[in-house]
Copies of this chain bind each other. A is one copy, B any other.
Amino acid sequence: MLSERQRMILNAIIDDYIRSAEPVGSRSISKRGDVSFSPATIRNEMADLEEMGLLEQPHTSAGRIPSIKGYRYYVDHLVKLGGVGDQDVRTLRTFFAEKMNRWEGIVEHAATILSQMTNYTSIVLGPEMFHTTLKHFQLVPINDVSAVAIIVANTGHVEHRTITIPDGVSMDDMTKTVNLLNERLAGVPFYKVKSVLHSEIAKELSRYVEHCEDILSLLDQTITEEQEPKVYLSGASNMLTQPEFKDVDKAKTILEMLEETQMLMQLFQSNSDGIQVKIGTENSLEAINHCSLITATYSFDGQSLGTIGILGPTRMEYGKVISLLDYLSKDIAQLMSRWHK
């Protein structure tokens, strides 16, 4: 579809624009080593590329900038995945050498390091509990009326709630219930827990324990509620570094969106495995129509557990970011499997 020369020119324009954030003229392309044609020739090709919708002109006498479609072509056909630089590899080594003793720690830290290494904004989705299995369930009484319910997953993930013990339920009842739950639910994936709870356990429990409906509904809530993964955000202020957001209002729109967890979840919805690149309006949210989002999933035990992502201007260093996300997501998976070997 595109001639070799057109591809080179397109590539050169996008590279330049990514670096400079300013419309690229025919002259500056011609002066680069890699495309040795005169400005006039390049202008002709540029006009063609514009007709195809790959380039745009902010105004008549300005250079060209890539369109969404242009970036898409670049990402699909042109971008060079250079791998991760030595410096970055070292940073990551240090990162993974640090002592990590909580899931949340790893994931949160990963977000920080991502934003620092890229100077973009990173968004990381913590592990989903959906596909993990229940390891242990426990109630720790705090006082007469309340207790802490603790749920441990096979991945080492821990969730907890403070619950109020229903009237008329004795400590003994609770203990019995908890024991039964551990017996029956250990090893059950969380997405099945609810049904098992109602089908198998409810009946049996009703033999030993009074008020078991109260207890069950309480536990039901406790276990199913809020299994939504946590969202970690880092480097939102990096957005302000980008010249495209020198206008405070634009910056504000984006930062406001970033503060809403719901919105972020929505961004990550079409969550197929592997690396995904969403450019500009390809994203579902209008607020980031001038941004690109690159995501990668990390997995444990073959199951994709969560997502790491980078949000930046459409004029983003795609090659670098894609390489990095790929590398890091695999490293996280590896770290986790080493942890739970």
- Interface residues in chain A, defined as those with a beta carbon under 8 Å from any beta carbon in chain B: 101-103, 135-136, 138, 140, 142-143, 145-146, 148, 150, 152, 154-156, 158, 160-163, 222, 225, 234-237, 240-241, 245-246, 248, 251-252, 255-256, 258-259, 339-341
Establish whether residues A142 and B135, one from each chain, have CB atoms under 8 Å apart when the complex forms.
Answer: yes
Establish whether residues A140 and B146, one from each chain, have CB atoms under 8 Å apart when the complex forms.
Answer: no
Contacts of A252 in B (CB 8 A): 237, 240-241
Q: How far is the CA of A292 from the CA of B240 in the complex (A)?
A: 22
Main SS at interface, chain A: mixed
Q: How far is the CA of A154 from the CA of B251 in the complex (A)?
A: 43
Residue of chain B at shortest CB distance from A158: B160
Q: A158-B160, A161-B101 are in contact. Are A248 and B255 (CB under 8 A)?
A: no
Establish whether residues A103 and B162, one from each chain, have CB atoms under 8 Å apart when the complex forms.
Answer: yes
Contacts of A246 in B (CB 8 A): 248
Q: How far is the CA of A158 from the CA of B156 in the complex (A)?
A: 15
Closest 7 CB pairs of A and B: A237-B255, A101-B161, A240-B252, A158-B160, A156-B162, A136-B140, A237-B256
Q: Which of B101, B240, B258 contacts A162 (CB 8 A)?
A: B101
Chain B nearest CB from A11 CB (Å) reads 31
The 11 listed contacts between A and B (C-beta, < 8 Å) are A101-B163, A101-B225, A135-B140, A135-B142, A142-B154, A142-B155, A142-B340, A143-B340, A240-B252, A245-B248, A248-B248
Contacts of A102 in B (CB 8 A): 160-162
Q: How far is the CA of A140 from the CA of B152 in the complex (A)?
A: 8
Q: How far is the CA of A225 from the CA of B102 in the complex (A)?
A: 12
- In addition to A150-B152, A237-B258, A245-B248, 17 A-B residue pairs with Cβ atoms within 8 Å of each other are A101-B161, A102-B160, A102-B161, A140-B152, A142-B152, A142-B155, A142-B156, A142-B340, A145-B341, A148-B152, A148-B158, A150-B150, A156-B162, A237-B252, A240-B255, A248-B248, A248-B251
Q: A143-B340, A145-B341, A340-B146 are in contact. Are A240 and B236 (CB under 8 A)?
A: no
Chain B nearest CB from A112 CB (Å) reads 9
Q: Which of B150, B235, B259 contacts A235 (CB 8 A)?
A: B259
Q: How far is the CA of A163 from the CA of B340 in the complex (A)?
A: 11
Contacts of A236 in B (CB 8 A): 236, 255, 259
Chain B nearest CB from A340 CB (Å) reads 6
Q: How far is the CA of A217 from the CA of B101 in the complex (A)?
A: 15
Chain B nearest CB from A185 CB (Å) reads 14
Q: How far is the CA of A252 from the CA of B162 in the complex (A)?
A: 39
Chain B nearest CB from A253 CB (Å) reads 9
Q: How far is the CA of A93 from the CA of B119 in the complex (A)?
A: 41
Contacts of A234 in B (CB 8 A): 259
Establish whether residues B240 and A146, one from each chain, have CB atoms under 8 Å apart when the complex forms.
Answer: no
Residue of chain B at shortest CB distance from A256: B237
Residue of chain B at shortest CB distance from A104: B160
Chain B nearest CB from A131 CB (Å) reads 16
Contacts of A155 in B (CB 8 A): 142
Residue of chain B at shortest CB distance from A259: B237
Contacts of A136 in B (CB 8 A): 140
Q: How far is the CA of A22 from the CA of B23 in the complex (A)?
A: 38
Q: Which of B138, B145, B163, B237 contacts A138 (CB 8 A)?
A: B138
